[in-house]
Amino acid sequence: MRPLYPEIEPHEHGMLDVGDGNLVSWETCGNPRGKPALVLHGGPGSGRSPWFRRLFDPSAYRVVLFDQRGCGRSTLHASALDTGLATNTTWRLIDDAERLREQLAIERWLVLGGSWGSTWGLAYAEAHPDHVTEMILFGVTTGRRKEFDWTFRGGLSILFLWESTTLDWPPRIGLAERFRDPVYAMAFARIVTHYVRHNAWLEDGVLLRGVASLTNIAGTLVNGRFDFQAPIGNAWELHRVWPNSEIVIVDNAGHGGSALITEALIRATDAAIR
């Protein structure tokens, strides 16, 4: 099993004023002169995690992470009920990533995103293809209505309702630890429901139709075979319209950063610097 790279700490961090009263929290780690890589977290609203830093060779990469508007260390924080979310949209997040790229004087970067971060990453790359070198996406979602419906409006919720009444799984308390924090839980819940209500401000299927702009960008699509939240059909449909992509189906893996998914991601980041 390919291990994570050693734990590292940021060598630079700050708060970027993106307007509308919002300050976005960001950090860079690894080699300041290394290959730039942007990490886009999931959720929407989950915030960045130290786990992402360890997917990259710290001697070869300059890794940039930031918390989207309203979550993590960014302010105004969505846990406060008087924080409006009208300007917390997919298109504003794309603009925020561009502002950060410009502030850090990065010409082009690799984009890695998981779950919601894969949708965000696709939207960003299609808007700014000249600023992206490669893409690594996992737990792939593309922001289509049927994907939101599956996760939030019937399919998945009905499946797990049945499962919870018929099967006895050992508890995995660690997965829910973050939600013990009421600040995190409130921000996450508000941001997720805000995006789902508006279908992430994406015309249905627009990201698949826009893949033509990624012709010169190599993509690696990593998906667990048993990912119920982001079924492998999402990654397969994206792969079919993106000739310069490869799809990696990880057996015995679901959604998120399991050991097998982690190994596949590290292999992908290593391959991008060879």
Q: Which long-range contacts (CB under 8 A, 24 or more apart) does 207-212 make?
A: 207/119, 207/122, 207/123, 207/126, 207/142, 207/143, 207/144, 208/142, 208/144, 208/237, 208/238, 208/241, 210/122, 210/126, 211/122, 211/126, 211/238, 211/241, 211/242
Q: Are 234 and 156 in contact (CB under 8 A)?
A: no
Query: Any idea which residues carry the catalytic annotation?
Result: 115, 227, 255
| Nearest alpha carbon to residue 110 among 48, 170, 61, 177 | 61
